[in-house]
Structure 1
């Protein structure tokens, strides 16, 4: 191997040992544990170059070195392939997720699974309404003057609204409205659906126009106004196992994780199903999260419905975490597509 390859092998060895032991790594340990076929003096020279390049650093007076954010980045960028989960792990993931009864359950289970597989904090974003298509709108008569609208999207998301009409409707009127609304909405992306709903009052029999106007106003609010995107978070206690990784900043990280907006920002990069994004330390735009790394991905079959990922210290098992995030996202996408 040439000098560059050998230096990268030394960096890999330092990352691997530091992640598993949390102790700075010295040249002798590298020679003993990793079969690089070179002397301790050569490894020391390579470490001097890596340090000069800002890929490793010497904490206080210890003889060993630890990877920097830049070093982890170089390591992650050269992970040529995601090491797949074992057959047994894959079967366990599939069986656990397939036992879910509905969307909420799928997302809760995927968070639990990710937190267990990676021993980090796992986060999953609910399917965003903007990227969804209307599957069906159910109109249920609660009383003759009160209806419930239940909007079901292709991602399995369900939104409901109760509407007081101020006038009495017969069952036939409700059936007419149901048919007209579904004709306008069914199979359309939400943005197009809200435009179709706005035209509804002109398309109904004149005696139903007032009711249709009320319903279309409520529906447009449901379709267009995006309530705070919902998130499922799990495994926060895992961070406290690695207190030493967050000198003085663990509390900041835990507080930041409680903020929906912060976590949504962490997942914002996850736009592509199948493509894992890794943000390391200083690369996180959220200041409180600069002691962490975020491994995220978009989930969904074909279209991205939302993001999911893992938050942990920069000293994490990147190959294992990337594999787990990749696998869980793939199964969640398949399960939601099959529903």
Structure 2
């Protein structure tokens, strides 16, 4: 197959690859992100705003990782899960935020086809892993409240390690599934992605191939994944609530509720935004709604998680005070 690369407009940055196949399509090899907004007067404000979020997110997640690693009193199952959640959040925001910040400053935010697929692969890997990590974390309060006498044996180190390995495996498997489907598509003429990163819905809208299978696969994966990650959480908290209601002391109930309050808040925000965004066909979804939902789970939640789990946690506060004194 003979391939010739040519530019159709010197001012457009649109690059195509012409092929001598039977369809004689001009194939896109570069994409341009439309960005979070098209209003020039908001670019600097949004750049400073999201730069602050990025710094706070990195400080929170890196700080929590270092604190858990250096404080022996935090070497428990709960904080083992939390350290992995912080690592995933750090990687997740690092995949999305830098490219978004470039878009606020650059005249045209360009990414190549292979770069877009790579971008989406890591976004999908850490996004799915984030969901499954929150599900794995529901096991800790369940055992702590419902089977407190057997906590040490139930939260054996090998069990926690296997749960975490399963989380990363599901993330990679889900990403490979999507990338395999996207790699078979052709992209002709259109190359402006109506988003600030390579997400699946705006990416599919640019394809000149039939995307029905990809849309169906995306919806099925979200539905199946949602069931897999929400059912264990619902079942765990059903038993937790039943156990809490049997506690006679009001102080004991309050302490039990505070144990799982942070986790429930993170689960509700993350799962809600993802289900809202992906449980609809790409052809029917509103791009502004997609952007708002994606901002929540790609930038806001990775920033909030370390603070939610640390500011309301007595053990973390004590470990921080001890570290400062040392």
TM-score, normalization by structure 1: 0.24
Structure with more relative contact order (C-alpha pairs < 8 Å, separation 6 or more): 2
Choose between structure 1 and 2: higher helix proportion. Answer: 2
